[in-house]
Amino acid sequence: MRAAVFALVFAPFATLVVPDTVLAEPTDVTVRVLAKDSKFVGTSMGGMRIVLRDAQTGEILTTGVTQGGTGDTALIMHKDKGSRAVLSDDSAAKFTATLDLDEPRLIEIEAYGPLGQPQAAARVLATQWVVPGRHLTGGDGFVLHLPGIVVDVLAPPAHVRVGHDAGTVDVRANVVMMCGCPIEPGGLWDADKLEVKAIVKHNGEEVKKLDLDFAGETSQFAVKVPIGEPGFYEVIVYAHDPGNGNTGLDRTTFIVTGG
């Protein structure tokens, strides 16, 4: 009898002391990285390292690398596209993750790369609220915009020794957009509109600046650097687009002997 009374008295309060179970909802997030004035950064450039973290606690939720192609040139490189235009198609590189969220989170999304060209790598990040079960995949997904130009000095190799009587040193660089897109005179990415220069230092002091000219091969620029006194030389090669401020650089060194 007492057991029955106990059950009748306390049963109505049972729901007050047993908390509801909050179930996490799978929530898909797609991240793409669009290079400034060019296309999506994907497998051909080593991809972009993506990190998703809780912006308020710093907890890393997932990481990965964008994979895929650079996307459809006609869709992306269209001067009349508006801010609502969808720029990606199935070929555009992306990273997609499924987060198990039990409450809305302010997500910080970070991208670093291109991983295949570490001398040109840059980091970009942004934040957005993500609600459980409300996928962030529509349109282009979440797009981060990556500034920069990839400059890869091909010659001379670092720390090479050059005799003073050589007179000049050939400096050659490969210059492409961050997505790997080629640069050539009159092309969609026009070499004639790009400033490519070498800053030459001797024993730490700047001695000259020289223009690198298009070398006749796609994305290749070159100049002969006159050498003076023996010593340590550093060459900084940069590419700059005066039309939008986009810039990238690489550097090398050589040693002049004799004299």
In contact, 169 and 225? CB cutoff 8 Å: yes
Please list, in sequence order, all residues whose beta carbon lies within 8 angstroms of the beta carbon of residue 103, skipping any fewer than 6 positions away. Answer: 22, 132
Residue-level pLDDT at 20: 55
pLDDT at 4: 46
Domains for the chain: give ranges and CATH numbers. Answer: 10-147 (2.60.40), 150-257 (2.60.40.10)
What is the predicted pLDDT for the residue at 16? Answer: 46
Give the Cα separation of 136 and 146 in Å (integer): 20
> 10-residue block means of pLDDT along the chain (259 residues)?
43 47 88 98 98 98 98 93 92 98 97 98 98 97 98 97 94 98 98 98 96 98 95 98 98 92
Cβ-in-10-Å burial (0-12, 13-18, 19+) of 240 comes to middle
Query: For residues 109 and 125, is the Cβ–Cβ distance under 8 A?
Result: yes
Instruction: Tell me the pTM.
Output: 0.89
> What does the pLDDT read at residue 88?
96
Conformation bin of residue 149: beta by default, left when phi > 0, alpha when psi is -120 to 50: beta
**Could you report the per-residue pLDDT of 35-83, keeping only the tens digit for each?**
999 999 999 999 999 999 999 999 999 999 999 999 999 999 998 888 8
The reported pLDDT for the residue numbered 251 is 98
